[in-house]
Amino acid sequence: MSFGGLQRTYLVHAPSGVDRPAGLVINLHGAGSNGGAQAATTNYGAAADALGFVVAYPDGIDQSWADGRGASIPDRQGVDDVGFLTALVDRLVRDYGIPPGRVFATGMSAGGFMANRLACDRADVFSAVAPVAATLGSGVACNPSRPVSVLAFNGTADPVVPFAGGGMVGRGGPSDILAAPALSARFRDVDRCANAPVEDELPSAGDGTSVRRFSAVGCADGTAVVLLQINGGGHTWPTGNFTLPGAGLTTTATNASLASAQFFAAHGR
């Protein structure tokens, strides 16, 4: 499709045998990747088929996104990825008969940063997001127009996106980012969550990681903010096929594709 003077490309996976999809998931690749690789890395089609979702895998300009950190070529060139992804949603909602309030976003690394930016800028369009191995640029204003549900997956040993925030160096160059707990706290404020998050531990998979879950539920308009803190986890997609030299451990104590799809199914509008 053409948007902003650029030709934009994407792949779509539609569940078979479903007359009316349960929703739409925009699944965003990391820097240096593309939509096809993201589909293979996450195997999101299996989760989407199980829950009746259409999934779109867009391609970023220069294999990245204008997520607001200012480091990527799309950011430096002023590419309007928020506008492009919103226009893509409009097209797919029309083409596939997606129910109102059933549009979601997930993504890996730079794609996760972009998913968080969509939650900040277009909560009117995206009911929930599930970023993986990502937070948000420290200079990005995050003032969602309405409550938005968030399920975040962050590894404490991520060598690319530091769990504690601060400086990072990605494919596009250096940037400064929020800590994972700080971003979750920001979304809890946005969603007017009345109580502190409840903590629990997921069953161990014996893979050198452990997963601590921080759940704030029953927030404004039925939203929820959940952080899965993957102790010992690296820059990976939980139970995914992401490979990067030195990325660290991949937890199998949770499956980011299935968990996010289930979260989306429970947190539409």
Q: What's the confidence (pLDDT) of residue 136?
A: 98
The string of DSSP codes covering 68-86 is SSS-SHHHHTT--HHHHHH
CA dist., res. 16 & res. 166, Å (int)? 44
Which has the closest alpha carbon to 190: 136, 134, 264, 246?
Answer: 136
Is the pTM of the predicted complex or chain greater than 0.85? yes
pLDDT of residue 179: 99
Mean pLDDT, residues 77-82 taken together:
96
Q: Is it the case that residue 172 has pLDDT exceeding 90?
A: no
Which domains, ranges and CATH numbers included, belong to the chain?
2-266 (3.40.50.1820)
More confident residue, 113 or 242: 113
Return the half-sphere exposure (C-beta side, CA atoms, 13 A cut-off) of residue 157. 15
Sign, CA torsion 63/64/66/70: negative
Whether 243 shows a pLDDT value over 80: the answer reads no
Residue 100 is predicted with a pLDDT of 86
Binned at pLDDT 50, 70 and 90, residue 42 comes out as: very high
Q: What is the pLDDT of the chain when averaged over all its residues?
A: 97
Does 242 have pLDDT greater than 90? no
pLDDT number for residue 17: 84
**Token pair listed for 197:** 């998050």
pLDDT at 18: 86
